[in-house]
C-alpha cells in the first residue's frame, strides 16, 4: 500500500505521494521514540546512577551517529533518488554500494577512535555540569558509550540500505528494518540488564549490548531484503565497485545536511547550560518536559523532510524541475497544517501534558513547563515549513543553504537571544524559552523568502546537473 513506483513519484498527485511515502517513516520514528522510553524504563530500575550515565552518554552518541552515518545516509538518499528518477538503475545501485562501504569505513575509523578517547570525551562533557559528577557514573558512562561505539558499524550499514529503499519510494522497508532493530532491543534489554540463566546480569553495559544486537538484527533484515531483490534490486554484483568519484558525489550531497544536524546537537548542549544559568534546577526540569514533547512533535517533520528529499530528487532526475519545486510548496502546506493542529492541542492541554509526563513537578517547575510548552506550540507551523524547505534544498543538492539556515537559527538567533536574556539582562528563563520559539519562526521566514527568490532557477539548474551527470 505504501510502496510507490518511480512513475507514481514523478506523475501522481504530489500530496498523495508525500503522504504515502511519509506514513511509514512517521511510524518508524514513533517506534524508535517508543523504544527509547521503554529502554529508559528498564534502565531506571537500576537506580539514579544508571539513568545519569545513559543521560550523559546520549548526547555524545547522538553526535557520534551524525558524524558516522550522516554523510553516507543523506548522500545515498539524494544520489539514489536522482539516479532512479533519471532511470539510471545501475548507477543508483553503485551509489548504494559505495554508500554502504563509506558508512562502514567511517564507523570503523570514527567509532574506533571514540572507543579510545571515550574517557576524555566524557570528562569534557562533565566539565560543563554545575556539580561534580560521581566517579561511578563516569565509569558507567564510558562503558556504555564504548559498547555502542563498537557496534556502530551495524547501525551505519543498515541505515544506508534504508536510505536506498526510501530513495526508491519503498519507505515500508525502512519501517520493517527499524521494527526489527527496536524489537530485538526490547527483548534483549531486560535479559541482558538483569540476567537470565545462563546469561549474567550486565547492568548498564547490558543495555548498550542490547542496542548493538538490535543494530545487527536490523542489518540482517536489510541484507535479506537486498538479497531477495526487493524494490527491483537496490544493489547488484555488477555494481560492487568501490569508486572515489562515488565517494565524492556522496560527500557533496550529504556533507552540508550532516553538518547541519551536528550543529543542532552542539547548540542543544549550549542551550542546556543557558537554561540552567537562567533558572536553575526548576528551569532544567521544565526544559526536559518541553524538549521531550517537542521530540514527539518533530516526528512528522523528520518523516516529511525525508520524503521531500526523495520526491524532489526523483523528479529532478526525471527532468521535471517544476514538479520538484511544487513538491516543497505542497509539503509546507501539508506539514504546516498537521503541526498547526498539534500546536492547538498542545496549547490547550499544556497543563495536562505536564501532569502526565512529570506528575512530580509542582510550583515554579510546573508553571515554567506549561509556559515552555505553549511558547513551543506557537512555533510549530514555522518549524514544519523550515524542515520541508530544507528538504527541498537538500534534494536539489543545495544542502549548503540548509546548513547556513541552521547556523542562522542557532548561532545567529537562538543562542545569542537566549544568552542575552539569561546573562546580561537577567530576565529569567521564560525569555530563553521564547528565544527558542522565535528562532524557529524567524528562520522559517528567512528560508521561505530565499526559497521564493531561488526556486525556479535552482531546480532547473539541479535538473540540468543531474542530466549532465547521467550523460557522463
* Domain match, 8 and 63 both: yes
> Among residues 211, 242, 273, which one ends one of the domains?
242
Cβ-contact 177, 109 below 8 angstroms? no
What are the CA-CA distances from residue 251 to residues 71, 79, 228, 255 (Å)? 6, 10, 29, 5
* Domain match, 180 and 261 both: no
Q: Summarize the confidence of residues 280-285 as an average pLDDT.
A: 73
Domain that holds residue 289: 253-472
* Domain match, 104 and 198 both: yes
Q: Is residue 247, in this structure, part of any structural domain at all?
A: no
**pLDDT tens digits, one per residue of 172-222:** 888 888 888 888 988 998 899 888 888 888 888 888 899 899 889 999 999
Q: Compare 459 and 95 and report the one with higher pLDDT.
A: 95
* Domain match, 302 and 187 both: no
> Among residues 220, 242, 264, which one ends one of the domains?
242
Q: Is residue 115, in this structure, part of any structural domain at all?
A: yes
**pLDDT tens digits, one per residue of 300-331:** 888 788 888 888 888 888 888 888 888 888 88
Q: Is residue 248, in this structure, part of any structural domain at all?
A: no
Q: Is residue 261, in this structure, part of any structural domain at all?
A: yes
* Domain match, 187 and 216 both: yes
Q: Is residue 40, in this structure, part of any structural domain at all?
A: yes
Q: Is residue 60, in this structure, part of any structural domain at all?
A: yes
**pLDDT tens digits, one per residue of 371-417:** 999 999 999 999 999 999 998 888 887 878 888 898 999 999 999 99
Q: Does the structure show a pLDDT above 80 at 9?
A: no
Q: Is residue 465, in this structure, part of any structural domain at all?
A: yes
Q: Does the structure show a pLDDT above 70 at 112?
A: yes
* Domain match, 161 and 278 both: no
* Domain match, 464 and 399 both: yes
pLDDT, position 21 = 72
* Domain match, 324 and 465 both: yes
| Total number of domains constituting the chain | 2
Percent of the chain scoring above 90 in pLDDT: 22
* Domain match, 223 and 269 both: no
* Domain match, 323 and 212 both: no
> Among residues 209, 242, 275, which one ends one of the domains?
242
* Domain match, 267 and 218 both: no
Q: Is residue 419, in this structure, part of any structural domain at all?
A: yes
* Domain match, 278 and 420 both: yes
Q: Which of 38-52, 58-72, 335-349 has the highest mean pLDDT?
A: 335-349
Amino acid at each position: 500500500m505504501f510502496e510507490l513506483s518511480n512513475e507514481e513519484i514523478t506523475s501522481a498527485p504530489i500530496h498523495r505521494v508525500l503522504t504515502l511515502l511519509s506514513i511509514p517513516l512517521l511510524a518508524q520514528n514513533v517506534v524508535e521514540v517508543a523504544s527509547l522510553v521503554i529502554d529508559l524504563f528498564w534502565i531506571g530500575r537500576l537506580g539514579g546512577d544508571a539513568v545519569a550515565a545513559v543521560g550523559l552518554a546520549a548526547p555524545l552518541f547522538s553526535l557520534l551517529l551524525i558524524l558516522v552515518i550522516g554523510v553516507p545516509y543523506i548522500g545515498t538518499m539524494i544520489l539514489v533518488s536522482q539516479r532512479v528518477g533519471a532511470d539510471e538503475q545501475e548507477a543508483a545501485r553503485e551509489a548504494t554500494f559505495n554508500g554502504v562501504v563509506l558508512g562502514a569505513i567511517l564507523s570503523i575509523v570514527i567509532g574506533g577512535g571514540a572507543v579510545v578517547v571515550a574517557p576524555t570525551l566524557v570528562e569534557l562533557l562533565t566539565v560543563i555540569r554545575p556539580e561534580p559528577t560521581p566517579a561511578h557514573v563516569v565509569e558507567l558512562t564510558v562503558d556504555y558509550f564504548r559498547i555502542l561505539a563498537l557496534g556502530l558499524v551495524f547501525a551505519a550499514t543498515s541505515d544506508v540500505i534504508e536510505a536506498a529503499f526510501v530513495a526508491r519510494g519503498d519507505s515500508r522497508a525502512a519501517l520493517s528494518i527499524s521494527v526489527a532493530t527496536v524489537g530485538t532491543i526490547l527483548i534483549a534489554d531486560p535479559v541482558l540488564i538483569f540476567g537470565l540463566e545462563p546469561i549474567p546480569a550486565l547492568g548498564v553495559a547490558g543495555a548498550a549490548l542490547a542496542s548493538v544486537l538490535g543494530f545487527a538484527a536490523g542489518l540482517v533484515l536489510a541484507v535479506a531484503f537486498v538479497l531477495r531483490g526487493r524494490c527491483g534490486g537496490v544493489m547488484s554484483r555488477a555494481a560492487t565497485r568501490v569508486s572515489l568519484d562515488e565517494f565524492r558525489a556522496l560527500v557533496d550531497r550529504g556533507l552540508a545536511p550532516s553538518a547541519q544536524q551536528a550543529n543542532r546537537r552542539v547548540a542543544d548542549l549550549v542551550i542546556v547550560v543557558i537554561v540552567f544559568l537562567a533558572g536553575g534546577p526548576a528551569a532544567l526540569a521544565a526544559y526536559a518536559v518541553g524538549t521531550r514533547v517537542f521530540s514527539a512533535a518533530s516526528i512528522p517533520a523528520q518523516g516529511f523532510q525525508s520524503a521531500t528529499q526523495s520526491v524532489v530528487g526523483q523528479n529532478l532526475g526525471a527532468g521535471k524541475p517544476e514538479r520538484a519545486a511544487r513538491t516543497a510548496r505542497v509539503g509546507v502546506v501539508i506539514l504546516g497544517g498537521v503541526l498547526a493542529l498539534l500546536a492547538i492541542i498542545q496549547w490547550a492541554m499544556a497543563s495536562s501534558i505536564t501532569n502526565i509526563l512529570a506528575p512530580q513537578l509542582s510550583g515554579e517547575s510546573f508553571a515554567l513547563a506549561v509556559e515552555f510548552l505553549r511558547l513551543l506550540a506557537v512555533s510549530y507551523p514555522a518549524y514544519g515549513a523550515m524542515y520541508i524547505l530544507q528538504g527541498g534544498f537538500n534534494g536539489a543538492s543545495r544542502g549548503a543553504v540548509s546548513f547556513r539556515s541552521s547556523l542562522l537559527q542557532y548561532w545567529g538567533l537562538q543562542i545569542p537571544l537566549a544568552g542575552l536574556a539569561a546573562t546580561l539582562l537577567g530576565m529569567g528563563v521564560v525569555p530563553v524559552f521564547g528565544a527558542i520559539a522565535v528562532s524557529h519562526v524567524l528562520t522559517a521566514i528567512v528560508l521561505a523568502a530565499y526559497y521564493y527568490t531561488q526556486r525556479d532557477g535552482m531546480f532547473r539548474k539541479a535538473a540540468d546537473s543531474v542530466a549532465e551527470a547521467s550523460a557522463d
